[in-house]
């Protein structure tokens, strides 16, 4: 890939700034002469860390091409200037819709949410299973899932990604990523493998269906993570309490149950018990494909207000038989 040459850039507006405190970069929205929009990430200050993230992102994005990964258009590295050019995503990020300034508009109806979950899962499955060498993203979160004009998910921000050499099951590294999404074995011991992304994806799934933040501050300053929040509702079968109230009850109950169960499998405290992203894609597609289905969690569902009679369930598909809940509260590592 050659260096970037933006010809005929009609205008560039500083449009988005990162949420993180360090503010080491800007994302600019640029309009090309042809009326095409692009997004340009510009490093604000050149530090060794920022330069490393720039190099990793260019290296990784230059290797991959998938409908659910943000497309790289080019880059520029000269003097103290570092720029990366991407496809522009007009519908911004999942974060904007779940917690940000577009959340009150509720543009994400239930089918869109399921579709975004499947798309993001497919992008990750591609990184884990098809890219060569395999790639671990390490920063899966709502602000790094961007949405195109049709609300298709595009996984973005590869500055923390790790290329995994053939035959290596895990690496030990310095912990990067975002609190609330970090797998316990990674947060505590820096042990990184594909299953760390699976854990983060499980948190993201819960966030997509509930619009809850991964970590919530309770009165008195105590922090509660989204898995701790969802588990009692899940056990009681109180699924209406789990669904984002902005959906106003317009969601498919059986799909919601399946998605929560998949999320809880993904966030199992033991990395070896988590599914692969290929399985997650399969399960999500299975959940989206059928309205009525049976899943067999080992976490018992109580007599909650949302319980469905056995008679309501349809036939058991192969994916459903794999969907058994392994995790319980006691299984889980104590979270932060």
Ligand X SMILES: Nc1ncnc2c1ncn2[C@@H]1O[C@H](COP(=O)(O)OP(=O)(O)OP(=O)(O)O)[C@@H](O)[C@H]1O
Site residues (CB under 5 A) for Mg ion?
Answer: 143-144, 157
Query: What tokens were used for 289?
Result: 């494909």
Query: What tokens were used for 196?
Result: 């760390």
Strands 215-217 and 81-87: unpaired
Query: Contact 319/257 with Cβ under 8 angstroms?
Result: no
Residue 274: strand pairing partners? none
Q: Which of 54, 88, 158, 251 binds ligand X (CB under 6 A)?
A: 88
Of 21-40, binders to ligand X (CB under 6 A) are: 25, 27, 39
Query: Contact 102/255 with Cβ under 8 angstroms?
Result: no
Which of residues 160 and 283 has its CB atom nearest to ligand X in the complex?
160
Q: Which of 92, 228, 240, 317 binds ligand X (CB under 6 A)?
A: 92
Which of residues 157 and 194 has its CB atom nearest to Mg ion in the complex?
157
Which of residues 176 and 246 has its CB atom nearest to ligand X in the complex?
176
Residue 27: strand pairing partners? 16, 41
156 binds ligand X, rule: CB under 6 A: yes
Q: Measure the CA–CA gap between 275 and 279, rounded to whole angstroms.
A: 6
> Which one is catalytic: 22, 139, 157, 310?
139
Instruction: Report how many helices (DSSP H) and strands (DSSP E) the chain contains, helices first.
Output: 10, 13
| CA within 13 Å, CB half, 112 | 16
Which of residues 74 and 286 has its CB atom nearest to ligand X in the complex?
74
3-state secondary structure of 219: coil
Which of residues 143 and 255 has its CB atom nearest to Mg ion in the complex?
143
CB of 98 to ligand X, least distance (A): 12
Q: Which of 115, 143, 152, 327 binds ligand X (CB under 6 A)?
A: 143
47 binds ligand X, rule: CB under 6 A: no
68 binds ligand X, rule: CB under 6 A: no
Burial class (CB in 10 A: 0-12, 13-18, 19+), 243: buried
Query: What tokens were used for 20?
Result: 């993180």
139 is catalytic: yes
List, in order, residues 6 or more apart from 230 with CB less than 8 Å away. 206, 210, 212, 242, 260, 263, 264
- Which of the choices ligand X, Mg ion, none does residue 39 contact, using the CB cut-off of 5 to 8 A by kind? ligand X
- Determine the interface stretch with ligand X among 3-11, 92-100, 210-218, 254-262 (rule: CB under 6 A): 92-100
CB of 10 to Mg ion, least distance (A): 26
Query: What tokens were used for 116?
Result: 């975004």
Residues contributing to the site for ligand X (CB under 6 A): 16, 18-20, 25, 27, 39, 70, 86, 88-89, 92-93, 95-96, 143-144, 146, 156-157, 178
Residues tagged active-site: 139
């Amino acid at each position: 890939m050659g260096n970037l040459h933006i010809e005929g850039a009609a205008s560039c507006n500083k449009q988005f700034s990162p949420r993180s405190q360090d503010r080491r970069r800007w994302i600019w929205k640029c309009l090309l002469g042809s009326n095409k929009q692009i997004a340009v990430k510009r490093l604000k200050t050149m530090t060794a860390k920022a330069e490393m993230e720039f190099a990793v992102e260019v290296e990784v994005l230059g290797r991959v091409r998938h409908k659910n990964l943000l497309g790289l258009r080019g880059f520029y590295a000269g003097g103290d200037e570092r720029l990366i050019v991407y496809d522009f995503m007009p519908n911004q990020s999942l974060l904007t819709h779940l917690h940000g300034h577009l959340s009150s508009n509720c543009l994400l109806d239930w089918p869109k949410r399921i579709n975004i979950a499947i798309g993001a899962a497919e992008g990750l499955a591609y990184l884990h299973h098809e890219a060569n060498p395999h790639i671990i993203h390490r920063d899966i979160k709502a602000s790094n899932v961007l949405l195109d004009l049709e609300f298709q998910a595009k996984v973005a921000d590869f500055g923390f990604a790790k290329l995994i050499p053939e035959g290596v099951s895990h690496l030990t590294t310095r912990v990067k990523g975002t609190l609330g999404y970090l797998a316990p074995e990674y947060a505590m011991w820096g042990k990184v493998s594909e299953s760390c992304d699976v854990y983060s994806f499980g948190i993201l799934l819960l966030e997509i269906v509930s619009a809850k933040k991964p970590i919530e501050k309770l009165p008195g300053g105590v922090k509660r993570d989204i898995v701790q929040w969802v588990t009692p509702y899940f056990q009681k079968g109180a699924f209406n309490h789990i669904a984002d109230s902005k959906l106003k009850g317009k969601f498919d109950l059986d799909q919601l149950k399946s998605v929560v169960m998949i999320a809880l499998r993904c966030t199992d405290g033991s990395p070896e018990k988590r599914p692969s992203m290929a399985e997650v894609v399969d399960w999500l597609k299975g959940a989206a494909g059928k309205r009525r289905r049976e899943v067999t969690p080992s976490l018992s569902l109580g007599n909650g207000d949302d319980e469905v009679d056995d008679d309501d369930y349809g036939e058991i598909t192969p994916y459903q038989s794999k969907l058994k809940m392994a995790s319980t509260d006691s299984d889980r590592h104590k979270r932060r």
